[in-house]
Amino acid sequence: MAFFEVKELTMYYRTLRGQVKAVDGVSFAIEKGKALGIAGESGCGKSSMATTLLRLLPNNGQIMGGQVLMDGQSLLDMPEEQFRRRIRWKRISMIFQGAMNALNPVHRVGHQIMEAILTHEDVSPTEARRRAEDLLNMVGINPKRFDDFPHEFSGGMKQRVVIAMALACNPDLVIADEPTTALDVIVQAQVLKAIDDLRQRLGLSMIMITHDLSVIAQMCDDVAIMYAGRIVEHGSAVDVYSQPLHPYTAGLVRAFPNIAAGRSTIRSIPGSPPNLIDPPTGCRFHPRCPLADGRCRAEEPAFQVVAGRHAVACHKADVLAGGVDIWQQRQLA
Partner 1 sequence: MGITALQNGVKVLGFRAYLFRRAVSALLVLFVIISFNFAVFRLMPGDPSSLIIDPRFTPEAIALLRQQFGLDDPPFVQYVKYIKNLVTFDLGQSFTSRRPVIDELKERLPNTITLFLTSFTFTALLGIAVGVFAAARRGSFAETLVTGAGLFTYAVPTFFFQLLLLLLFGYYVPIFPIHGTISAPPPEGTWAQLLDRLHHLVLPAGSNVIIGFGSWALYTRNAMLEALSQDYIITARAKGLSERAVLYHHALRSVLPPIVTLVFLSLPGLVTGAVITETIFSWHGVGRYLVDAVLQQDYPAAQGAFYLIAIAVIVSNFLADLVYGLVDPRIRVAGENA
Evaluated on CA atoms 121, 124, 125, 129, the torsion sign reads negative
Distance CA 273, CA 316 (A): 20
Distance CA 219, CA 207 (A): 10
CB of 93 closer than 8 Å to CB of 163:
no
DSSP string, 59-112: TTEEEEEEEEEETTEESSSS-HHHHHHHTBTTTEEEE--TTTT-S-TTS-HHHH
Evaluated on CA atoms 254, 258, 262, 266, the torsion sign reads positive
- Minimum CB–partner distance for residue 54 and partner 1 (Å): 6
Residue among 28 and 89 whose Cβ is closer to partner 1? 89
- Minimum CB–partner distance for residue 147 and partner 1 (Å): 9
- Minimum CB–partner distance for residue 53 and partner 1 (Å): 10
Residue among 70 and 87 whose Cβ is closer to partner 1? 87
Residue among 87 and 232 whose Cβ is closer to partner 1? 87
Residues 6+ apart with CB under 8 A from 238: none
Residues 6+ apart with CB under 8 A from 247: 285, 289, 290, 291, 314, 316, 320, 326, 327
Residue among 100 and 326 whose Cβ is closer to partner 1? 100
Neighbouring C-beta atoms of residue 131, cutoff 10 Å: 18
Q: What is the length of the chain?
A: 333
- Minimum CB–partner distance for residue 151 and partner 1 (Å): 5
- Minimum CB–partner distance for residue 180 and partner 1 (Å): 16
> Of the candidates 264, 318, 271, 310, which has an alpha carbon nearest to the alpha carbon of residue 290?
271
Residue among 100 and 123 whose Cβ is closer to partner 1? 100
Residue among 162 and 226 whose Cβ is closer to partner 1? 162
CB of 2 closer than 8 Å to CB of 15:
no
Residue among 131 and 288 whose Cβ is closer to partner 1? 131
- Minimum CB–partner distance for residue 209 and partner 1 (Å): 14
- Minimum CB–partner distance for residue 249 and partner 1 (Å): 30
- Facing residues of 258 across strands? none
Residue among 84 and 130 whose Cβ is closer to partner 1? 84
Residue ranges that bind partner 1, judged by CB under 8 A: 51, 54, 56, 59, 84-85, 87-90, 93-94, 96-97, 100-107, 115-116, 119-120, 148-149, 151-152, 162, 165
Query: Would residue 55 be called left, alpha or beta, if left means φ above 0 and alpha means ψ between -120 and 50 degrees?
Result: left
- Minimum CB–partner distance for residue 136 and partner 1 (Å): 17
- Minimum CB–partner distance for residue 283 and partner 1 (Å): 33
Residue among 58 and 323 whose Cβ is closer to partner 1? 58
Distance CA 128, CA 106 (A): 20
Distance CA 216, CA 239 (A): 13
